[in-house]
Structure formats: structure tokens, C-alpha cells
Amino acid sequence: MAMKKGPTKGSGGKHRNALKGKGPTPKAEDRVYHKAYKAKKAADRRKMADPRLAARRRAAKFTSESDDLVIGRNAVLEALRCGVPATTLYVAARIEHDDRTREIVRLAGIHGLNLLEADRLEMDRIAHSSNHQGVVLKAQPFQYSSLAELVDRADKKARAMEAATSEGARIAARPLFIALDGVTDPQNLGAVIRSAAAFGANGVIL
């Protein structure tokens, strides 16, 4: 029998692609024909129907973690009375109106704010609290002054007072700043700011 000399002709890699792996096997819940896939879809539908999660999704459309919120009837009313720049007023559905809420709605209309009604779960989500008393005001981010601006303003005020008053009043005109460190409770901060304003402080340093 004659033997063929030289290398035997091979496939030249023509069938190399056929030898490649198909990758990892998909999870059972990702295979449309598997019962785990149907169970996952049913669970997703139940989750979408959950009123708490639905409220969370709706609230997320209108708010973000960076929003400045004024919460509670007294706080919202005072913010609207003094013209705090705001964009939206949220009012709880079926809220029991009193003089404050009626005044809040009236002032919101005068200021041209967006007025949105939300159920209790949505209100809790928007306010990140259940202590909102049915009203939440979304305000524009507060514009802080730099320390240099506060000092310059205080210096101008002191010079103006010195020019217009006696020597005894000059001493009282010296600038007063309140410096806070580590205050995290908004009610405590509000109390300090109100006291600072009552004593004629030129600024509160946070």
C-alpha cells in the first residue's frame, strides 16, 4: 500500500467556530419557557401593584434628595408669607382644612406655585417623614453667603451706625456672629437663628 508523503491536509480552521462554547447557561428565571420565569413575572406584577412602592415611584418623579423642603402647616404658612422662593406645594388628599391650610392654598395661588395633591403614602415619601401635617412646600435651594460677604455687610452696617449715633451706641454696633458646630436638628437650628435675629446678630456660621 502506497503511503502519501508530506503533511495531511486538514480543515484549516474551517470548523473552528462550531467548536466555540455557547457561554454560561441562563438562569431558570431568564428562560421564557421555564416555570421560574413565569413565577418571576408574577412576582414583578405583584410588586408593581404594591401601593407603597407605587407611591414611592410617583413621589420620586417630583422630588430628589437635594430638594429643600418646608414641612408642616405653620412652617409652610410662614414661608409663603415672607416670600421664600418656592416652586411646588403638595397637599394631602382629603385633608381637613383649617384657617392655616386655606391661607396656604390662597398664598400658593398668588405666588403662582404648582399645586399638587398626593395621598398619604406619597406625602410621607415626599417629606421623608410622616409629620408633615398634610402640606409640604418644595423651595428653591437656599443661597448661602460667604463669610467674607457677611463680614463686609456687617462692617458697612457698623460704620453707618457709628456715623449716625453717639459714642455709647458705637460699642453696641460691633458685629456679632454666631458660630455653630455639629448642629443637625433643624428645630435647634431654627431656634438659634431666631435668637440670633432677636439679638441683632450679623450672621450665623454653619
11 SS3 class:
coil
What's the CA gap between 196 and 46, in Å, rounded?
A: 53
Say how many CA atoms lie within 13 Å of 145 toward its Cβ.
12
22: cell is: 455557547
Which residue stretches of the chain have pLDDT < 70?
1-23, 48-66, 164-173
Instruction: Calculate ∠ Cα 22-23-26, nearest 5°.
Output: 105
138: exposed, middle or buried (C-beta count within 10 Å: 0-12, 13-18, 19+)?
buried
Domain boundaries, the chain: 58-139, 147-205
Q: What is the pLDDT of residue 138?
A: 93
Q: What is the pLDDT of residue 5?
A: 61
Longest dimension (CA), the chain: 131
What's the CA gap between 153 and 142, in Å, rounded?
A: 19
What is the CATH superfamily name and number for domain 58-139? Ribosomal protein L30/S12 (3.30.1330.30)
Q: What is the pLDDT of residue 192?
A: 95
